[in-house]
Structure 1
Amino acid sequence: MSLLVVQHQRTCPPGRFGDWLTDAGVELDVRRPDTGDSLPIDLSGHDGLLVLGGQMGCRDDEVAPWLPAVRQLITTAAKRATPALGICLGHQLAAVALGGEVGRNPGGRTLGVLTVAGTGSLADDPVLAAAAGAPVPQWNDDVVTRLPEGAVALADNERGDLLLARLAPTVWGVQGHPEADLGIVTAWADSDAGAPELADIDVPAALAAVADAQPAVEAAWRPVAEAFARLL
């Protein structure tokens, strides 16, 4: 099973989600277009697609000129019923690629750990059902403000922001960061130190919450990775 993984920057790797997929027998083909790696024009050589997070916005094509190609790969996955999963930026890219909209979160930056508050549809979802009630690290400014036609909202967080969605029959989006362990999130905090968006956020408390949640995150999200792997 070969999974194409689009990693937009060094500090946003597949992390533990990649480890869980590898443990499930998936071969990860990680591409770093930010360092010059090419992206395939289609998914004929892969069994699925994973699009990771990043600091850029989902339409920042001038900053990240590979984004149109990523959006096209997501569209191709949806048309060909190829399993695809987007995490944070990847979720937002999938939403706009399939006809939805993304904007700034009116509640401001979300940082720390929030809980999956599932809808009735989540229990029957073939990939994300295990995440019901689970904690998930959060680090984002943007949110999906309108789902594509036919998409299914699967869960919000306790702030009421869309957290999980089935964006097409074989395309899923996660606004949180199940892949991000304490080391990854700490690197993000160090990179953003002094940013005005963090002025009203207790960053040490957020990092402590990420540390405390790590066992529960693995218990809930490893089965999600395994469920996704079974579709490949």
Structure 2
Amino acid sequence: MARLLVVQHEPDAPLAWLGEWWAAAGVELDVVRGDLGQPVPSRLAGSGADGLVVLGGAMGANDDAEHPWLTPTKELVRDSVRRGLPVLGVCLGHQLASVALGGRVGRNPTGRTIGLVPVALTPEGQGDPLLAGLGGSPAVHFNDDVVLDVPPGASVLARLPDGRPQALRFGLRAWGVQFHPETSPEVFADWLRWERPDGLTDADREVLASVEAGREALRAAWAPLAERFLTQLP
């Protein structure tokens, strides 16, 4: 049975749809919660896992002092990429991988990206085994930070409307996506409510309605990505 090690950073950022799809495929999911004090291993070797998934979170990729498990998570990503093991970083995971491999992450000078944004593949992305054929698909975004400098040797597979990386390939079998292929409308609603404890604004309700309306298109787009990632497992 295939096994994935999953680093989850907070309760409101779960595997969600990715977990559903992988569990249906018979994959064993070993979820490590650094925020709960569970130790993050510095390498996959010896963990019994065939691949690594690093999820999103509200903290920044450079906030190791406040969230100390980010340091071993970066070490884990770095070692996995160098060994050619399958890695998928989602939002914060994508940013952590970028920092771990020599890139730079910070606040997007053009502001927050939130809601549905189509995936805009580059020529490299159009031939990528994970993203090929998914150009134009809607993708959920909820981020203030972006990759400002791409790590040496990484390929930009997709770009946001402002030109910032929307997806990167770090190595033979390692990817990062700034968007959230795992996120259902229910999870997205939880994020909005966490930010607005006094109630959603009209703008919040509008963006949430667009994500809810895109439910089936989102599932149709990102279930193939989940399946394709499994084909990269040894």
Q: TM-score, normalised by structure 1?
A: 0.94
Alignment correspondent of 1:156 = 159
Alignment correspondent of 2:33 = 32
- What is the CA–CA distance in structure 2 between the aligned matches of 1:158 and 1:23, rounded to whole Å? 34
Is this contact kept in 2: 1:165–1:174, CA < 8 A? yes
Output aligned runs, 1:205-216, within 5 Å: 205-216=206-217
Cα distance, 1:194 vs structure 2: 6.7
- What is the CA–CA distance in structure 2 between the aligned matches of 1:106 and 1:168, rounded to whole Å? 27
- Over aligned residues, Cα RMSD in angstroms? 1.7
Alignment correspondent of 1:43 = 44
Is this contact kept in 2: 1:186–1:207, CA < 8 A? yes
**Is residue 23 of structure 1 aligned with residue 28 of structure 2?**
no
Output aligned runs, 1:2-13, within 5 Å: 2-13=3-14
Alignment correspondent of 1:181 = 184
Identity of aligned residues (%): 45
3-state SS of paired residue (1:55): coil
Is this contact kept in 2: 1:8–1:52, CA < 8 A? yes
- Counterpart amino acid of 2:27? V
Alignment correspondent of 1:98 = 101
- What is the CA–CA distance in structure 1 between the aligned matches of 2:99 and 2:197, rounded to whole Å? 31
- What is the CA–CA distance in structure 2 between the aligned matches of 1:77 and 1:39, rounded to whole Å? 13
- What is the CA–CA distance in structure 1 between the aligned matches of 2:24 and 2:232, rounded to whole Å? 15
Of the structure 1 ranges 211-220 and 90-99, higher mean CA displacement relative to structure 2 is found in 211-220
Cα distance, 1:121 vs structure 2: 1.1
Cα distance, 1:149 vs structure 2: 0.9
- What is the CA–CA distance in structure 2 between the aligned matches of 1:228 and 1:210, rounded to whole Å? 24
Aligned residues: 229
Alignment correspondent of 2:194 = 191
Is this contact kept in 2: 1:147–1:167, CA < 8 A? no
- What is the CA–CA distance in structure 2 between the aligned matches of 1:165 and 1:41, rounded to whole Å? 22
Would you identify which runs of 4 or more consecutive aligned residues in structure 1 move more than 6 Å?
none
Alignment correspondent of 1:170 = 173
- Which of 109, 134, 138 aligns to 1:135? It is 138
- Counterpart amino acid of 2:134? A
3-state SS of paired residue (1:117): coil
- What is the CA–CA distance in structure 1 between the aligned matches of 2:96 and 2:149, rounded to whole Å? 13
- What is the CA–CA distance in structure 2 between the aligned matches of 1:160 and 1:202, rounded to whole Å? 24
Alignment correspondent of 2:149 = 146
Instruction: Give 5+ residue unaligned stretches, structure 2.
Output: none
Q: TM-score, normalised by structure 2?
A: 0.93
